[in-house]
C-alpha cells in the first residue's frame, strides 16, 4: 500500500524586523519552500482560523505580544506543529524555558543563514513524517501487527468471526490475549452483546465461585442481597476467562458442567439457570503440563481446547515494535492530555533490539513513561529507560549493538518501568545502582540523566590544573597498564585532599571536571551551545544550567 501523501503547507515567519523576514523569505524560496510572513502574534492567531503552517518560526520579543505566549497558544491548537523560537543572546534563558512549552528548537541571533535553513528543513521533514504517521495511527485497528505471526492470528480471527465455537488463547503475559478475545467477540454474531472478562488468578478462591455463578441472599456471611454472576452478566455475549490455568480444581468441575449443558446454580441456589454464553479462555501456562501434574482436569482441557490460538511474544515480531511504539506514544499523550512525543529512528532501533519479557504491555508502559519523562519532544536513544541501555539487549542483526556502559546518573530515585519484572504491577521507584570503583576507569563521559533533572557526579574528574584541553587526547600519554595519566593524577589529587580532610572533595573536583569539559566543547564550537551540548551528549537545557551554575564565560 503506498504511503499517504502529505501536501506541503507554508512556513510562517513571525518577526517585527523586516530584514529578518526578508532574508529568511529569500533563503527559503531558493529551497522551493512556501513562506508566509507576519509582523506580530495577533495576525498569526487570526490566520490560524483559516489555514495551518507546516512550521512556525517566531521571534521572542515583538510589539504586541511575546513569542513564548504565541508558542503556548499555537501549541494548544496545533500540538504537533514544530515551532522554532528565534532569540537574541540576552533572551537565551527565556528561549530555553520555551522548550518546556514544546518548542522544536531555538535559533540564536545573529544566525548563520545556511544553518537556519537546515534547521527549518529538519523541522519540515519532521512535521511531514509525523503527519504521515499520525494519519496511519488514526486508521489503526484495535490490534496492530504486520509480522507474519500476527497476520496468522488476524486470519484466524476472521475465520472464527461467524462461529460460536469455544477458543483457547495461549501466549506469554502481556502479549495481548484479552485484545484477541475482544476482537473475536466484536467480529462475531454476538458483537452487540456484552463482553465480560474475569481473571481467575486475581480473585481469591473463596470468592471466585460467587464471581462466576453469582449467589443467593444469605448464601454465606455477608451475602445480604442476591448477586448475578459473570455467566449471567454475559448472557447473549462472550465471557472471557483469563489465566484459566490457575482456576482451583474443584471449580473446574462446575465450569465443565456449564460448558457441557449450559446450566449452573448460584451459590446457595436450588434452581438451575441457563445462560447463552460463548466462552473464550486464555492462559500463559502449558495446560498439557498442568494436566500431567494433576492440577487441571483433562476433560475440561479438551472442552476448552476446541480451537487454539497462539499469540506470539513481542520479541517474535520485532518488526511491529516501531508501529506499536508510535501508537502507544499517541495513545499515552491523549490519555494525559499532552502533546504526543516523536521518537527518532535510532531510538526505535534500540527498542526493537530489546527482548520485552513483559511483551506489548511492557512496551506500552515504556511509552507512557517516555511521555512523562523524556525531556524533549523528540525521543532520542539516551532518553530511553536505563533498563534498555544497560547492555542486556540481545544481539539482533537488524539492530545496532548496545554502546559500552556509561556511568549512571546519581539521582535520589530512578524510575523502573512498570511491568518489567512484574508486568501487571504499578510503577515502582528504586534507587540507582552506582558503579563500583573497579568500573570507574572504563567510563568515557558523563551521562545525561533521564529527564535531565540532575547532573551526574562523575567519579573520574579533572586534577587541579592538570587536565589538558580536550581531555581525551591525554590518553596518548597513558601508562602501560592502560590507565590514562590524567586519571592517575586525579587519583593522587583526590587522595591528597581526602587525607588532608578537605571538605566537599567530590563537589569541588566534579565542578572542575564539568567546567573543563563544557569550556573545551564551547571552544571547539566557537560558543555555540547547542552544538557543544550535542558533542558532549547532554541536553541543551543541561548545558545552559551548568554554564550558569559553574560561572563559565562562553
The pLDDT of residue 96: 58
Same domain? 332 vs 281: no
With vertex at residue 392, the alpha carbon angle to CA 388 and CA 394, rounded to the nearest 5 degrees, is 100
* The three cell numbers locating residue 484: 590514562
Same domain? 31 vs 119: yes
* Domain boundary pick from 112, 138, 164: 138
Same domain? 163 vs 307: yes
The pLDDT of residue 35: 93
**Minimal CA–CA distance to 341: which of 349, 351, 331, 350?**
331
On whether residue 437 sits in a domain, the answer given is no
Same domain? 214 vs 268: yes
On whether residue 274 sits in a domain, the answer given is yes
On whether residue 475 sits in a domain, the answer given is yes
**What CATH number does the domain containing 286 carry?**
3.40.50.300
Same domain? 36 vs 105: yes
Same domain? 184 vs 282: yes
pLDDT beneath 50: ranges in the chain: 1-6, 133-141, 391-482
* Omega prior to 110 cis, within 30 of 0: yes
* Domain boundary pick from 84, 109, 138: 138
Same domain? 385 vs 363: yes
User: Global pTM?
Assistant: 0.49
| Under 8 Å between Cβ of 103 and 83 | yes
Same domain? 152 vs 130: no
270-289: string of b/e by CB count within 10 Å (b at 16+)?
eeebebebbbbbbbbeebee
**Interatomic CA distance for residues 445 and 395, integer angstroms:** 24
**What CATH number does the domain containing 94 carry?**
3.40.50.2300
Q: Which domain holds residue 43?
A: 11-138
Residue 322 burial class via C-beta count within 10 angstroms: exposed 0-12, middle 13-18, buried 19 and up: middle
Same domain? 107 vs 168: no
Same domain? 30 vs 57: yes
Same domain? 360 vs 461: no
* Domain boundary pick from 138, 166, 181: 138
Amino acid at each position: 500500500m503506498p504511503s499517504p501523501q502529505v501536501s506541503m503547507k507554508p512556513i510562517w515567519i513571525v518577526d517585527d524586523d523586516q530584514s529578518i523576514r526578508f532574508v529568511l523569505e529569500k533563503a527559503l524560496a531558493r529551497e522551493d519552500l512556501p513562506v508566509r510572513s507576519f509582523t506580530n502574534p495577533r495576525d498569526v492567531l487570526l490566520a490560524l482560523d483559516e489555514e495551518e503552517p507546516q512550521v512556525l518560526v517566531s521571534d521572542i520579543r515583538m510589539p504586541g505580544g511575546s513569542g513564548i505566549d504565541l508558542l503556548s497558544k499555537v501549541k494548544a491548537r496545533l500540538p504537533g506543529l514544530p515551532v522554532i523560537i528565534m532569540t537574541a543572546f540576552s533572551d537565551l534563558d527565556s528561549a530555553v524555558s520555551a522548550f518546556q512549552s514544546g518548542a522544536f528548537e531555538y535559533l540564536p541571533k545573529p544566525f548563520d543563514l545556511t544553518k537556519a535553513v537546515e534547521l527549518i528543513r529538519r523541522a519540515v521533514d519532521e512535521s511531514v513524517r509525523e503527519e504521515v504517521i499520525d494519519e496511519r495511527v488514526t486508521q489503526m485497528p484495535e490490534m496492530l501487527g504486520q509480522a507474519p505471526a500476527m497476520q496468522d492470528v488476524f486470519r484466524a480471527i476472521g475465520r472464527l468471526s461467524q462461529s460460536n465455537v469455544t477458543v483457547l488463547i495461549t501466549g506469554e503475559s502481556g502479549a495481548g490475549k484479552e485484545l484477541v478475545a475482544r476482537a473475536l467477540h466484536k467480529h462475531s454474531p454476538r458483537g452487540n452483546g456484552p463482553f465480560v472478562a474475569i481473571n481467575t488468578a486475581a480473585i481469591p478462591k473463596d470468592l471466585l465461585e460467587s464471581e462466576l455463578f453469582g449467589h443467593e441472599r444469605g448464601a454465606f456471611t455477608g451475602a445480604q442481597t442476591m448477586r448475578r454472576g459473570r455467566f449471567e452478566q454475559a448472557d447473549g455475549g462472550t465471557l472471557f476467562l483469563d489465566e484459566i490455568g490457575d482456576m482451583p480444581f474443584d471449580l473446574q468441575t462446575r465450569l465443565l458442567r456449564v460448558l457441557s449443558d449450559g446450566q449452573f446454580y448460584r451459590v446457595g441456589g436450588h434452581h438451575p439457570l441457563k445462560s447463552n454464553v460463548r466462552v473464550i479462555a486464555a492462559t500463559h501456562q502449558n495446560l498439557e503440563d498442568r494436566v500431567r501434574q494433576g492440577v487441571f482436569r483433562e476433560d475440561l482441557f479438551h472442552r476448552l481446547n476446541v480451537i487454539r490460538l497462539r499469540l506470539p511474544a513481542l520479541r517474535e515480531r520485532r518488526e511491529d515494535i516501531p508501529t506499536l511504539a508510535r501508537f502507544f506514544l499517541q495513545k499515552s499523550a491523549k490519555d494525559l492530555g499532552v502533546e504526543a512525543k516523536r521518537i527518532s529512528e535510532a531510538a526505535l532501533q534500540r527498542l526493537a533490539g530489546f527482548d520485552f519479557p513483559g511483551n506489548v504491555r511492557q512496551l506500552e508502559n515504556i511509552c507512557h513513561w517516555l511521555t512523562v519523562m523524556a525531556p524533549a519532544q523528540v525521543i532520542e536513544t539516551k532518553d530511553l529507560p536505563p533498563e534498555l541501555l544497560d547492555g542486556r539487549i540481545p544481539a539482533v542483526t537488524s539492530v545496532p549493538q548496545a554502546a559500552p556502559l556509561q556511568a549512571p546518573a546519581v539521582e535520589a530515585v530512578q524510575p523502573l518501568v512498570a511491568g518489567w519484572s512484574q508486568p501487571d504491577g504499578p510503577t515502582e521507584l528504586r534507587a540507582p545502582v552506582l558503579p563500583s570503583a573497579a568500573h570507574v576507569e572504563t567510563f568515557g563521559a558523563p551521562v545525561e540523566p533521564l529527564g535531565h533533572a540532575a547532573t551526574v557526579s562523575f567519579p573520574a574528574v579533572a586534577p587541579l590544573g592538570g587536565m589538558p584541553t580536550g581531555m581525551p587526547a591525554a590518553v596518548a600519554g597513558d601508562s602501560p597498564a592502560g590507565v590514562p595519566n590524567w586519571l592517575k593524577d586525579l587519583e593522587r589529587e583526590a587522595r591528597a585532599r581526602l587525607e588532608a580532610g578537605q571538605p566537599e572533595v567530590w563537589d569541588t573536583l566534579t565542578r572542575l571536571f564539568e567546567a573543563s569539559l563544557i569550556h573545551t566543547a564551547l571552544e571547539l564550537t566557537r560558543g555555540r551551545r547547542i552544538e557543544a551540548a550535542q558533542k558532549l551528549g547532554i541536553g541543551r537545557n543541561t548545558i545552559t544550567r551548568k554554564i550558569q551554575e559553574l560561572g563559565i564565560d562562553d
